[in-house]
């Protein structure tokens, strides 16, 4: 099993369009500092899945036939916008595991094209290529699922978008021996949002769940600025994710 | 005044994701044959406007400050999807002229960011950089406006998405001396769709409106195949548009 972050940014991304701050100027010139829509590529038993589909050029990144399925956390546009074009393709259907959301996003339900949406119930595991995936309720402004993915002896949790965690999700994760927790951390400390963690929230969850390693994702512009000014703020086994980073296995 | 097509394709584009036909294989290897979402760049009196915003990489194509406004034909996702990211920028507001559509697309109205939507009434002209723009009702499944753009002695009409034209629009256009008509032609002859022209429809409009030149846009995969097999099908002053083509002034 391998997990690579494709994008590590919030909807605005890094650089922020029109921003001339030092961090944005640096990012404009350095792809490694850029943050595209939060999403990841999961390889499990030789098959390729996406965790969210907000990358705008999915059809270029994943030629037809290279994508075995998609796990959507939720239907906000920055997590699904890559599907608007891809769906119109031809050939094999692509299964999309997702939360139950009557609305979806724009006309994805009306015109699913080659996508087949399979709504999942929180805490009801399903089998994926010999691994087990458990959807987990998260705290967000739309129905949202995190995913606990177990394969052989490894366990990783992908938890975005969320503010804190619902008690049942926190309890379930606290009982696991997580190798990796990828967790929403959109905001700098002290900056509150009803649907996203700030760094304080993420640190609390890291201590409560005790994964071997945590990686922050869905990073917002102001957090990047804060982190540049506070480079020693994070514990050793917690790091800020970046685009195209292989986060599992831990290297 | 200059008008350049940015994209000349329908929502599926060319190559069609997953298609192995000869035309798609050729297009995969040749950017000039590819068709991205139907849209155009209008330069008028040294200022830059977009006609539709479905290009997925607008923030890269148009650095902050380079875009003076956007004219939307309608709120289908392939015509607005580039705004989902761009809106989150900072700095000057970007005016978006659009049809009155209570729904919009996804959460664009709820979270407009730096965009300011200005709903326009059909047949009520407005001034744009010393030119005059007249919104025109079109026949589509969502409220849709074409635009007649007059600047000095030049007149161009941009008409997509539409099936035929409403009588009042056809009549108004028939009274003009159009230098250019850019017209929806998504489908091959004989293939009917309630919201898009096929080639027969486009030829009828070309003859009725009598512009100096017509350029077809919003081209679908099957029409490209048909055109390859029927290269002599078009009259001299009507051509198939392609991405990045300067269509006005006529060269």
pLDDT at A87: 98
Rounded Cα gap, residues B151 and B23, in angstroms: 38
Least confident range from A231-235, B175-179, B211-215: namely A231-235
Q: Which residues of chain B are within 8 Å of residue A37 when distances are taken between CB atoms?
A: 85
What are the residue ranges spanned by the domains of chain A?
A: 2-248
Judge whether residue A197 has pLDDT over 90: yes
Express each pLDDT in B38-49 by its tens digit. 999 999 999 999
Judge whether residue A149 has pLDDT over 80: yes
pLDDT at B250: 80
Residue among A76, A90, A92 minimizing CB distance to B16:
A90
Instruction: Please give the model's pTM, rounded to 2 decimal places.
Output: 0.97
pLDDT at B183: 98
Contact B202, B182 (CB under 8 A): no
Q: How far apart are the CA of A155 and the nearest CA of chain B, in angstroms?
A: 33
Q: What is the DSSP string of A209-240?
A: H--S-EEEESB-HHHHHHHHH-TT-S-TTEEE
Q: Say whether A77 and B114 touch across the interface (CB within 8 A).
A: no
Rounded Cα gap, residues A92 and A75, in angstroms: 23
Identify the CA nearest to B242 among candidates B32, B26, B28, B23.
Answer: B32
Angle at B7 between CA A65 and CA A8, to 5 degrees: 55
* 3-class SS of residue A119: strand
Touching B: A residues 189-248, CB under 8 Å: none
Q: How confident is the model at residue B245 (pLDDT cuts 50, 70, 90)?
A: very high
Rounded Cα gap, residues A192 and A114, in angstroms: 39
Q: How confident is the model at residue B138 (pLDDT cuts 50, 70, 90)?
A: very high
Mean per-residue pLDDT, B159-188: 98
Interface predicted TM-score of the whole assembly (ipTM), two decimals? 0.96
Phi-psi region of A52 (alpha: psi -120 to 50; beta: other; left: phi over 0): left
Contact B185, B165 (CB under 8 A): no
Judge whether residue A14 has pLDDT over 90: yes
Identify the CA nearest to A200 among candidates A238, A174, A170.
Answer: A238
* Percent of residues, chain A, with pLDDT higher than 70: 100
Judge whether residue B233 has pLDDT over 90: no
Q: Say whether A81 and B81 touch across the interface (CB within 8 A).
A: yes
Contact A23, A230 (CB under 8 A): no
Q: How far apart are the CA of B83 and the nearest CA of chain A, in angstroms?
A: 11
Rounded Cα gap, residues A121 and B94, in angstroms: 41
Q: Say whether A17 and B85 touch across the interface (CB within 8 A).
A: yes
Residue among B11, B59, B105 minimizing CB distance to A88:
B11
Identify the CA nearest to A133 among candidates A150, A117, A157, A154.
Answer: A150
Judge whether residue B251 has pLDDT over 90: no
Residue among B17, B76, B89 minimizing CB distance to A88:
B17
- In chain B, which residue's Cα lies nearest the Cα of A56? B56
Residue among B17, B64, B86 minimizing CB distance to A59:
B17
CATH of A2-248, one of 1.20.20.10, 3.60.15.10, 2.60.40.3500, 3.30.70.330: 3.60.15.10
Residue A57, chain B, CB below 8 Å: the answer is: yes
Other CB atoms within 10 A of residue A87 CB? 20
Q: Which residue carries 């584009």 as its tokens?
A: B13
H or E element in which residue A148 lies: strand A145-151
- In chain A, which residue's Cα lies nearest the Cα of B86? A17
- In chain B, which residue's Cα lies nearest the Cα of A81? B81
Contact A208, A170 (CB under 8 A): yes
* Percent of residues, chain A, with pLDDT higher than 90: 98
């Amino acid at each position: 099993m391998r997990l690579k972050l494709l994008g590590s940014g919030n909807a605005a991304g890094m650089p922020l369009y029109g921003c001339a701050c030092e961090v944005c100027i640096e990012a404009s010139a350095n792809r490694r500092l850029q943050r595209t829509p939060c999403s990841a590529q999961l390889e499990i038993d030789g098959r390729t899945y996406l965790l969210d589909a907000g990358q705008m050029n999915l059809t270029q990144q994943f030629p037809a036939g290279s994508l075995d399925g998609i796990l959507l956390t939720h239907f906000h546009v920055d997590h699904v916008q890559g599907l608007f074009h891809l769906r119109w393709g031809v050939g094999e259907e692509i299964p999309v595991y997702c939360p139950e959301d009557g609305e979806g996003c724009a006309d994805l339900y009306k015109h699913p094209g080659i996508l087949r949406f399979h709504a999942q119930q929180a805490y009801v595991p399903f089998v994926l290529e010999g691994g087990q995936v458990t959807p987990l309720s998260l705290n967000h402004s739309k129905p949202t699922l995190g995913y606990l993915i177990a394969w052989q002896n490894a366990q990783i949790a992908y938890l975005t978008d969320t503010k804190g965690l619902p008690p049942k999700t926190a309890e379930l994760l606290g009982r696991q021996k997580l190798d990796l927790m990828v967790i929403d951390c959109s905001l700098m400390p002290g900056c509150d949002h009803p649907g996203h963690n700030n760094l304080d929230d993420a640190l609390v969850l890291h201590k409560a769940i005790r994964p071997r390693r945590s990686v922050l994702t869905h990073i917002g512009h102001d957090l990047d600025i804060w982190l540049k000014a506070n480079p020693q703020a994070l514990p050793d086994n917690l790091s800020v994710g970046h685009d195209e980073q292989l986060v599992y296995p831990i290297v």
